[in-house]
Amino acid sequence: MQIARRIARQITRRGLLRLLGAAAMAAGAAPRSVPASAGGAAHANAGFTQRFAEAFLDQYWQRNTDAAIAVGYYRVADRLTVPDARYRREYLQFLDAALRQLHEVRADRLDARQRTDWAVLDSQLRYERWALTRLREWQWNPAQYNVAEPFALICNTDYAPLDQRLRSALARLRDVPAYYDAARQAIDDPTLEHTRLAIEQNQGTLELFDVDLQQRLAAATLGADERALFARRLAAARAAITGFVGWLEGLQQSLAGGGGRSFRLGRVLYAEKFQFVHQSGEDAATLYGRALQEKQQVLQRMAQLSEQLWSRYLAGEQPPADRFDRIGRLIGKLSEHHVAPADYLPGIERLIPQLVQWVQQHDLIDLDPTAPLQVRPTPAYERGVAIAGVDAPGPYDPGARTYFNVDPIDRYSDAQAESFLREYNDWTLPVFIIHEAIPGHYVQLMYANRSPSRIKSLFGNGAMIEGWAVYCERMMLESGYGAQAPEQWLLYWKWYLRSVTNTILDYGVHVLGMSEAEARLLLMREAFQSEKEAAAKWLRVQRSSVQLTQYFAGFSAIYRLRTRLEEQQGPRFQLKRFHEQFLSHGSAPVKVIEELMTTADTPA
């Protein structure tokens, strides 16, 4: 759950947070078109495309080189952006100029596709300005500073011959010391939690530089002079990373005594960030209230299924009077059925072709058999937030390999491994893979790369991305996956309860001040999560904010849209057509997709 090849992950982990424009779009709607001549519409659309779908993006990637590589824009692969004060000052000027130019365009004279592109781009620029000047995470989150990912992509993506890619890496290596010097200068009053994360992930970066780059260099045909320069720059880069980690460790010691910045975002910043993330017109408090209501409805369903299954699995035992104890006891019994620790990763690999076959046989959505998907252990420099995620290629390089990163469990103790695998048991492990891969994130991002709107593909909405994955869990079971077994549905509702309690947890922690003990009570007793899962979720909510609310919000919006169209279309409704139409609009906010699917555009 991280979140797209790294723009979707940066977009979910580091902030794929959008706002649909100015006051008219604060409620989640793009400006409406007004009647005009066809010639005027064509002129307006062509002008917008030329200025912002082409020229602007080229300028944007020149200033965001890490994100550019993540989406397959390799023209800047040889450049490392140094995040110093000068860069931030000049980038703010760039954002202000781009916003002025964007608002010179009459959005209400564009057709629906271009108009919603305008809104998404306006959202992106406004968010980045807000993040730079108001959230200022570049000051208090040291985990924002890590050079690993672009280097890994350059090494592992065959977009050019190996020697050419290594020369790009060589050019980037030159500025690694300056990058980490700038990071030290920028960091001020960091949180303890993000400092720890930065230490862990940058230690993983050292592994990348010690192993991956060296292996690629050994396979290359570079000359002696280039190899010598590579060795010098690589040594300087490792020294810079080691020095940064040591400096962070000193900060960690001073912060461990207390008195540092709280990881909790607080009510005001949380409310502002929530609007950027969701673009739905719903505020954070309202979503929190809906999640509390949904939690009770899910618990009622789980209680009924527990009564149905009790005698099958716990015959002779008296059901506890307490609802949580009764449901939890049965879930605990079912959770005993899971793969062995050594079979966890192979088990995931076996499930993927089974899910592909199910989707194809039930005609749920077309898949691309030529798009490669590789399961691999999560690289060390990416660990520490979620247990898995998809690194998918961006629209500039849609044919590149997609990685399904899965955190390994080989370092867990026997008790930790058992706790983890009980959470990902024989019924929930397939739901997990449905979410992350087939037909969840992997398929959605594949369709996003095909979208005629590059802007909607590049600047995706996290609630739509995560919502689609949660929607797929429900949709697959509704299609018959799991044979409608009550065991499958009970464990599904437990899994879905995670999405609901994610919202309760995130809002509770960052706005209401929920303690760790209260969080564990919510997660373990009231949502039936294992101790290992609850500990990981507590860590995650300290290191992220608002992102955990995207699952429930996005799912409920998509499911409402489907239900609405089913009711309107009756027997004409086709599930596959709905899925493919929905995904054809890139990773836009659900409200934007709903407008594009349900209203006829008036040519401008």
CA pseudo-torsion sign 339, 342, 345, 350:
negative
Higher pLDDT, 320 or 36: 320
Statement: residue 278 has pLDDT above 70: yes
Give the range among 38-47, 204-213, 292-301, 449-458 with minimum mean pLDDT. 38-47
Both tokens of 24, joined, read 């008219």
Give the range among 62-76, 87-101, 201-215, 318-332 with minimum mean pLDDT. 201-215
Mean pLDDT, rounded, for 426-442: 95
Confidence of residue 42 (pLDDT cuts 50, 70, 90): low
Higher pLDDT, 36 or 63: 63
Q: What pLDDT, on a 0 to 100 scale, did the predictor assign at position 10? A: 34
Domain boundaries, the chain: 19-135, 144-256, 279-573+575-583
Give the chain's mean pLDDT. Answer: 89
- List the Cα angle 409/413/419 in 5-degree steps: 75
Cα–Cα dist 252/198, whole Å: 10
The per-residue pLDDT for range 551-562, each reduced to its tens digit, is 999 999 999 999
Confidence of residue 297 (pLDDT cuts 50, 70, 90): very high
Statement: residue 39 has pLDDT above 80: no
Q: Is residue 247 packed enough to be buried (19+ CB in 10 Å), middle (13-18) or exposed (0-12)?
A: middle
Both tokens of 92, joined, read 């703010």
Cα–Cα dist 432/210, whole Å: 33
Q: What pLDDT, on a 0 to 100 scale, did the predictor assign at position 9? A: 34
Statement: residue 599 has pLDDT above 90: no
Q: Which of 530, 310, 581, 571 is nearest to 424 (CA)?
A: 530
Q: What pLDDT, on a 0 to 100 scale, did the predictor assign at position 382? A: 74
Statement: residue 592 has pLDDT above 50: yes
Q: What pLDDT, on a 0 to 100 scale, did the predictor assign at position 50? A: 67
Confidence of residue 260 (pLDDT cuts 50, 70, 90): confident
Confidence of residue 140 (pLDDT cuts 50, 70, 90): very high
Q: Which of 234, 231, 245, 242 is nearest to 151 (CA)?
A: 234
- Residue 494 identity: K
Confidence of residue 369 (pLDDT cuts 50, 70, 90): confident
Half-sphere exposure of 28 (CA within 13 A, CB side): 21
Confidence of residue 485 (pLDDT cuts 50, 70, 90): very high
Q: What is the DSSP string of 561-573?
A: HHHHHHHHHGGG-
Mean pLDDT, rounded, for 107-116: 89
Statement: residue 480 has pLDDT above 80: yes
Q: What pLDDT, on a 0 to 100 scale, did the predictor assign at position 44? A: 62
Cα–Cα dist 338/399, whole Å: 35
Percent of the chain topping pLDDT 90: 74
The per-residue pLDDT for range 6-36, each reduced to its tens digit, is 333 333 322 222 222 222 333 334 444 444 4
Residue 533 CA from chain centroid, whole number: 19
Percent of the chain topping pLDDT 70: 90
Both tokens of 198, joined, read 């930065």
Q: What pLDDT, on a 0 to 100 scale, did the predictor assign at position 602? A: 37
Mean pLDDT, rounded, for 271-277: 95
Cα–Cα dist 390/382, whole Å: 11
Cα–Cα dist 449/454, whole Å: 8
Cα–Cα dist 278/280, whole Å: 5
Residue 327's φ and ψ, nearest 5 degrees, are -65, -45
For residue 439, whether the previous peptide bond is cis, meaning omega lies within 30 degrees of 0, is: yes
Q: What is the 3-state secondary structure (H, E, C) of 97-157?
A: HHHHHHCCCCHHHCCHHHHHHHHHHHHHHHHHHHHHHHHCHHHHCHHHCCCHHHHHHHHHC
Q: What pLDDT, on a 0 to 100 scale, did the predictor assign at position 377? A: 86
Sheet of strand 373-377: strand arrangement: 373-377, 402-406, 388-391
Q: What pLDDT, on a 0 to 100 scale, did the predictor assign at position 232? A: 96
Statement: residue 4 has pLDDT above 50: no
The per-residue pLDDT for range 380-405, each reduced to its tens digit, is 777 766 678 888 778 888 888 888 88
Cα–Cα dist 55/47, whole Å: 11
Q: What pLDDT, on a 0 to 100 scale, did the predictor assign at position 30? A: 46
Half-sphere exposure of 352 (CA within 13 A, CB side): 17
Question: What's the DSSP call for residue 342?
Answer: G
Q: Is residue 457 packed enough to be buried (19+ CB in 10 Å), middle (13-18) or exposed (0-12)?
A: buried
Q: Which of 427, 422, 398, 399 is nearest to 409 (CA)?
A: 422
